[in-house]
Amino acid sequence: MTRVSRDFGDTMQKEAVPAVSADVIFASSRFPNYKIGSNNQIVELKDDPKVLSMKEVVARETAQLLEQQKRLSVRDLASKFEKGLAAAAKLSEEARLREAASLEKHVLLKKLRDALESLKGRVAGRNKDDVEEAISMVEALAVQLTQREGELMQEKTEVKKLANFLKQASEDARRLVDEERAFARAEIEAARAAVQRVEEALQDQERMSRASGKQDLEELMKEVQEARRIKMLHQPSKVMDMEHELQALRKQLTEKSKHYLRLQKELAMSKRGMENNNQLYEIDGTEALGSYLQIQPCSDNAPDLSRCSIQWYRISSEGCKKELISGATKSIYAPEPFDVGRVLQVDIIAEGQTITLTTTGPVDPAAGLGSYVEALVRKHDVEFNVVITQMNGVNHQSESIHAFHIGKMRIKLCKAKTTIAKEYYSSSMQLCGVRGGGNAAAQALFWQAKKGVAFVLAFESERERNAAIMLARRFAFDCNIMLAGPDDRAPLGTQ
């Protein structure tokens, strides 16, 4: 190996290579940060002490995702995991680029060390010492770079774990969303099927009711159609004649019905008289809607009814259910639409003995009431003139006319522009015929608008009272409300 003399080194220093320590200044022992820019150029980044490391960013994002997982919905959770998966892919790409930059750093350090080694052989003295110090610093930088690569590999492993975790969580969230969507669709289909079944049942019921009513009122409908045709031809006199004729027919039908019921009742009484000649009481009155029934003593030995305990019941036509009529504890009872087709029974407790009386047959409907109610159903709001006889159990002295409005959604009682009560159909509302009250019971009804607010209203006729009850129950049924009297929904049992 040739030894270079000092004179030759001084000459080379002055003419060819300047001193390394004069121009190269290492600000720190840490190799600067680089990244790959456009056109594969290495761009140096300025150190920012506030910038977090990739490991800290990944840890913070993971903590936030786990914290928000509990309060996010399934759909939002799936979206969040998708975003997290994209962020993990981005972090993985950045780690790959940083690995490429690390390789570039190793190449630069190797080239720099080779250059310094070449320079070391051509200098001597102080310059040679500076070159050796620079080589030591380059080797230190290489060691730091190797350590940094180890940390980078660890971070890369953690990023891969996070990416796998987010991918699995995204698949789980997507599966949950699919399951929830399938469950919701099944529930929707079940609800649609239930609604369709209910609609079909209602249509069948309406079809059957129309068919039965059509058979009973066929002749009357023909006369009504003829009257309408004549009215359309502008013949008011003939229309009036037809109306008078219809009224006469109705009166005849009512009289014949009463006569038939009277004969039927006399026949039943004669049969009972043959079986028991010691009957103390009997039920007097027409057993039809629009009339009233009264208990009459038929023996001189019968105790006074004012000292007896009385309770009315309704029994189904088959005789299998017996329902107590709450509040019907008087000697007079006016049947309401709910009693049509049912047998009425009354128990009289006198001197410790119970006497049971029943009607000869089920309560008959009123003639023409069904078609009248069907005509009122087509209106949005029907108004009846009434008089308040009781309010909250206290007799009402005023006999002024009030308007009782029955609508599709609510019932309103008012006087002129002043509203006395207005309530929508609800489970707390009650409406039925008055159960007792003398000869006027057939024209009165009981209405409880809500708890603590109740009225007894008298109508102009029995027909309007029964039509108001049927109309209100029809509209309430359309609102899924069973409108009845007190305790009308609770049968006592079988007989």
Could you please report the per-residue DSSP string of 185-245?
A: HHHHHHHHHHHHHHHHHHHHHHHHHHHHHHHHTHHHHHHHHHHHHHHHTT-HHHHHHHHHH
CA dihedral (54, 58, 60, 61) positive or negative: positive
pLDDT, position 276: 52
Per-residue tokens: 250 = 């109705």
Lowest-pLDDT range, 78-92, 161-175, 176-190, 362-376? 78-92
- pLDDT tens digits for 331-354? 899 999 988 989 999 999 888 888
Gap between the Cα atoms of 81 and 257, Å rounded = 81
Percent of the chain with pLDDT over 70: 71
Q: Does the pLDDT value for residue 54 go beyond 80?
A: no
Q: What is the mean pLDDT of residues 258-284?
A: 70
Confidence of residue 495 (pLDDT cuts 50, 70, 90): very low
Q: What is the mean pLDDT of residues 280-308?
A: 85
- Mean confidence (pLDDT) of the chain: 77
Angle between helices 54-69 and 126-216 (to 10 degrees): 20
CA dihedral (151, 153, 158, 159) positive or negative: positive
Confidence of residue 467 (pLDDT cuts 50, 70, 90): very high
Using CA atoms, how far residue 451 sits from 100, 392, 398, 410, 486, in Å, is: 83, 10, 23, 16, 12
pLDDT, position 9: 42
Gap between the Cα atoms of 169 and 85, Å rounded = 9
Percent of the chain with pLDDT over 90: 20
Could you give phi then psi for residue 442, rounded to 5 degrees? -70, -15
Gap between the Cα atoms of 457 and 65, Å rounded = 67
Q: Which amino acid is at 124?
A: A
pLDDT, position 21: 42
Confidence of residue 99 (pLDDT cuts 50, 70, 90): low
Q: Which residue has the higher pLDDT, 445 or 278?
A: 445
Going by the DSSP 8-state scheme, the letter that residue 2 receives in this structure is P
Q: Does the pLDDT value for residue 464 go beyond 90?
A: yes
Give the length of the chain: 495
Confidence of residue 173 (pLDDT cuts 50, 70, 90): confident
Gap between the Cα atoms of 185 and 69, Å rounded = 25
Q: What is the mean pLDDT of residues 468-494?
A: 81
- pLDDT tens digits for 10-40? 444 444 444 444 444 444 444 555 555 656 5
3-state secondary structure at position 343: strand
Pairing between β-strand 394-395 and β-strand 453-459 as defined by DSSP bridges: unpaired
Q: Which residue has the higher pLDDT, 472 or 59?
A: 472
pLDDT, position 426: 93
CATH class of 82-194: mainly alpha
Any idea which fold 278-363 has? Immunoglobulin-like (2.60.40)
The partner residues of 333 in beta bridges, in order of sequence, read 293
Lowest-pLDDT range, 32-36, 219-223, 229-233, 328-332? 32-36
User: What ranges do the domains of the chain cover?
Assistant: 82-194, 278-363, 369-479
pLDDT, position 17: 43
Q: Which residue has the higher pLDDT, 28 or 74?
A: 74
Q: What is the mean pLDDT of residues 102-108?
A: 66
C-alpha closest to that of 91 among 171, 160, 45: 160
Per-residue tokens: 254 = 């009512």
3-state secondary structure at position 480: coil
Confidence of residue 46 (pLDDT cuts 50, 70, 90): low
pLDDT, position 4: 41
Gap between the Cα atoms of 25 and 283, Å rounded = 127
Right CATH for 369-479 from 2.30.29.140, 3.40.390.30, 2.40.10.10, 3.40.190.10: 2.30.29.140
3-state secondary structure at position 346: strand
pLDDT, position 22: 40
Going by the DSSP 8-state scheme, the letter that residue 25 receives in this structure is -
Q: What is the mean pLDDT of residues 104-127?
A: 70
3-state secondary structure at position 463: helix
Using CA atoms, how far residue 322 sits from 152, 315, 338, 344, 364, in Å, is: 88, 5, 14, 9, 18
Q: Does the pLDDT value for residue 68 go beyond 50?
A: yes
pLDDT, position 23: 43
Gap between the Cα atoms of 391 and 93, Å rounded = 84
Q: Does the pLDDT value for residue 385 go beyond 90?
A: yes
CB 371 within 8 A of CB 212: no
pLDDT, position 465: 93
Lowest-pLDDT range, 58-67, 398-407, 421-430? 58-67
Displacement of CA 417 from its chain's centroid (Å)? 36
Q: Which amino acid is at 307?
A: R
Gap between the Cα atoms of 296 and 192, Å rounded = 57
Q: Does the pLDDT value for residue 327 go beyond 60?
A: yes
Lowest-pLDDT range, 97-106, 391-400, 417-426, 446-455? 97-106
